[in-house]
Structures are given as C-alpha cells and as structure tokens.
C-alpha cells in the first residue's frame, strides 16, 4: 500500500483511451487517480458526472484526471456512452480497466471484506510522480468533488508559497484566505517572529500561530 511521500509505481494500464504507462503518461503534470466500486451504479455515476463538470477546473490547475475500477474496458466504454446519452455529459478523461487487479493491489484499493470491489480512493500525484495526498471513502458515500479541487489548489499553493493552509481554506473562520507561517524552531526565532509581526509582515495570535496574506 502506497503512502504519502512515496513515488507512484510504474505501471502499464488498459484504459478507455488505450494503453497508458503511469506515471510517464502525465510526466511534468499533476494527476489525480480516483477509483470507484463499479460501473452502472448510481453513486459512481453521480461522481463521474461531477468529476467531468469540474474537469476544466482541474486542467486550469495543470492537473489531469484518470479513473479506475475492476470492470472490463468494454463496460467502461458502454457506461460513459450511457452518461453522455442520458445525462448529456461526455467523459473526457481515461478510465483504467483493472480487471487483473494489478493496480488495485499495488495501491491498496481493494475494499476490505468485499471481494474484489475497489474503495473510493483519491491519489494526488505531483509533477515529480510523488504521491502528495490520499483520501479514502467507503462505498456508501459519494465524494465531494469541489473538496478534491480545493486540496489540489492547497497543495499547489503550499509548493509556491511554502506556507501552510488552514481548515476550510480559503474560507477559514479565523483567518479567511490567509496562510499560516510555519512554527518557529528556536527561542530566537520565536522572539523574531513577534518582532516581525509588530512590523506588519505577519499577524499573530502568538509566536506559534502567525499568518499572512497569500
């Protein structure tokens, strides 16, 4: 099972867009791999509809999407045809047909006590092929796609600013859209932190909780 900070494994996968080598196919880009339990199921259908609706946002952030389940590729193809015909949404990103379970076993996607069904997992992989965040959901609960967009924005913001991201950012109840300055690592740095705050560069509740404009 892969963890945050691990490199994404090198895999060749069968998809609705043909065979793809991961992570090579997305070299230099962020990509989000998300698994779903099965095609032609109501919750998964609502998720794919929403992922596609938000696909332009992901692409604007320099990220691609790729889905996965243990269904055969012909099932994926028929399902996305159904979504386009019945719901008016064309699924533009590829979907992995992991009928051999190779990817699911490599990434720890098999749902405990439910045979070969995959959990609802989300892997955020950066341009260096490093896994930066992982989210798991049970079968019974559909994902919040705007939250997945938010996590991607937060990761990219941290990489750019080197400042931590608060809860519910950018609408945090304490500091709004501001970012958190990393805690001081010495007594001297703690004193300097408050002096810096007095000059207006930071705002602080205390030396260990300072924040600034993004």
Supply the DSSP string of 8-68, one letter for each residue. PPPEEEEEBTEEEEETGGGTTSEEEEEE-S-SS-HHHHHHHHHHHHTHHHHHHTTEEEEEE
- Exactly one of 32, 44, 66, 119 is catalytic; name it: 44
- Regarding pTM above 0.85, the answer is yes
**SS3 call for 119:** coil
Assess whether 44 carries a catalytic annotation.
yes
Q: How far is it, in rounded angstroms, from Cα 193 to Cα 15?
A: 51
Question: pLDDT tens digits for 73-95?
Answer: 999 999 999 999 999 999 999 99
Q: Which helix (H) or strand (E) holds 160?
A: helix 145-161
The CATH 3.30.1020.10 domain(s) of the chain lie at 162-214
Task: Calculate ∠ Cα 16-25-161, nearest 5°.
Answer: 120
CATH topology of domain 11-160: Glutaredoxin (3.40.30)
Question: pLDDT tens digits for 125-170?
Answer: 999 999 999 999 988 999 999 999 999 999 999 999 999 999 999 9
CATH topology of domain 162-214: Antioxidant, Horf6; Chain A, domain 2 (3.30.1020)
């Amino acid at each position: 099972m892969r963890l945050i900070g691990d490199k994404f494994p090198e895999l060749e996968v069968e998809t609705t867009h043909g065979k793809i080598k991961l992570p090579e196919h997305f070299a230099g880009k962020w990509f989000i791999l998300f698994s779903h339990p099965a095609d032609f199921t109501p919750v998964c259908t609502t998720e794919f509809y929403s992922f596609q609706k938000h696909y332009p946002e992901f692409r604007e952030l320099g990220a691609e999407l790729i889905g996965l389940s243990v269904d055969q590729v012909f099932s994926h193809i028929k399902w996305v045809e159904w979504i386009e015909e019945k719901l008016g949404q064309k699924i533009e990103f590829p979907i992995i047909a992991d009928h051999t379970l190779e990817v699911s076993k490599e990434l720890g996607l098999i749902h405990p006590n439910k045979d070969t069904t995959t959990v609802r997992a989300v892997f955020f992989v950066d341009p260096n092929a490093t896994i930066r965040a992982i989210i798991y959901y049970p079968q019974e609960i559909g994902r919040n796609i705007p939250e997945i967009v938010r996590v991607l924005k937060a990761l990219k913001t941290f990489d750019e600013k080197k400042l931590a991201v608060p809860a519910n950012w950018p609408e945090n109840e304490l500091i709004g859209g501001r970012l958190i300055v990393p805690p001081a690592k010495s007594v001297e740095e703690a004193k300097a932190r408050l002096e810096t705050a007095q000059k207006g560069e930071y705002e602080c509740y205390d030396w260990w909780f300072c924040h600034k404009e993004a």
